[in-house]
Amino acid sequence: MRKTLYFVVIVFLFACSGNQKSLEQKPSGANDSAYIQNILAGRKDKDKAFAMNASSPFHDQGPDFTGLNYFPVDLKWRVKAEWDKTVTGNTATISDTKGKTRDYEPAGTLKFVMQGKAFSIPVYFEDLDKKILFVMFRDLSNGKTTYGGGRYIEFRVAEELWLDFNQAYNPFCHYNHNYACPVVPATHKLELNVEAGEKLYSVN
């Protein structure tokens, strides 16, 4: 999954590099439109990359691939998070969909408040330079409007961290069973109906 995750990181950074500052600030007023347009542009770039890149899970679909399914961008799904960097152990071992295991470096816990409730979820370092954070989560929408196995979010380390569920994406194994993906642990479940980011995918 690391190889496929690196592809997603490249797509994410390509899509956001020109407007990274806006993603690290709370959108309000005139910034709301810029934030939404940035997310939409990133989705368009990702769909284009999936259609063209040989590492894409859709590389065998050719012109039949017309893009992923997304929820509308909604600012309520972007929340400021407190980063508790306390960790237990140097490695977290997580099973993947092929029955193997993957080691991740724990980065602590993200704590946030949404819909009047307090939540916390483990976070991991995705790169050796510790500049990109990786979150795996399940939620109440899984198996209904979103992939049953849960989704991922990746984002840059910043002075202020914003957990943006509009950026939530599906594991590659949802799109193509030839890929192995880390299985989101049951302990990473949020008692929220997170209808943001990527939806279930089906071929039209």
47 close to 59: Cβ distance less than 8 angstroms: no
Query: For tokens 């797509």, what's the residue?
Result: 11
Other beta carbons within 10 Å of 132: 19
Model confidence over 110-147: pLDDT tens digits? 999 999 999 999 999 998 899 999 999 999 999 999 99
For residue 119, the cross-strand partners are: 112
Q: What percentage of the chain carries pLDDT values higher than 90? A: 69
Give CA–CA dist 51/110, Å, rounded.
33
Query: For tokens 């509308």, what's the residue?
Result: 72
Model confidence over 143-174: pLDDT tens digits? 999 999 999 999 999 999 999 999 999 999 99
* C-alpha R_g of the chain: 16
